[in-house]
């Protein structure tokens, strides 16, 4: 496994350990919730004193929002093509989740 693959794997694992906002918003599947950069937006919303993340995003913010923000931004960027397709209404036939 090369260094880049190890780095991506490490970021993904760290995100899961911290309760990454991106994975929380993807699992929430709340109708009308933001899709594009949802995890980053959830972190930013919480850092700025947002009152009701569960109502707006369908998920609670992670405990350590400041630590989670860079990992969520990276993961949201990697998932940007899929989230843009979902926001535009394209069905990619992808299913899953918990």
22, HSE (Cβ side, Cα atoms, 13 Å): 25
Query: Looking at the 3D structure of the chain, how many domains does it have?
Result: 1
97 pLDDT higher than 60: no
> What does pLDDT average to over the chain?
81
Residue 94: inside a domain: no
What's residue 45's pLDDT?
A: 92
Summarised one tens digit per residue, pLDDT across range 13-49 is: 765 655 588 878 877 777 888 889 988 999 999 999 8
Residue 96: inside a domain: no
Residue 93: inside a domain: no
State mean pLDDT over 53-65.
86
Residue 98: inside a domain: no
Q: pTM score, two decimals?
A: 0.71
Range of the domain at 77: 3-88
Beta carbons of 29 and 36 less than 8 angstroms apart: no
């Amino acid at each position: 496994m090369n260094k880049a693959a190890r780095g991506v794997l490490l970021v993904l694992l760290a995100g899961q350990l911290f309760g990454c906002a991106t994975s929380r918003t993807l699992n929430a599947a709340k109708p009308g919730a933001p899709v594009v950069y949802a995890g980053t937006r959830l972190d930013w919303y919480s850092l700025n004193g947002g009152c009701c993340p569960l109502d707006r995003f369908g998920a609670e913010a992670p405990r350590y929002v400041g630590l989670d923000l860079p990992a969520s931004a990276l993961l949201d960027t990697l998932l940007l093509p899929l989230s843009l397709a979902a926001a535009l209404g394209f069905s990619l036939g992808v299913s899953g989740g918990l």
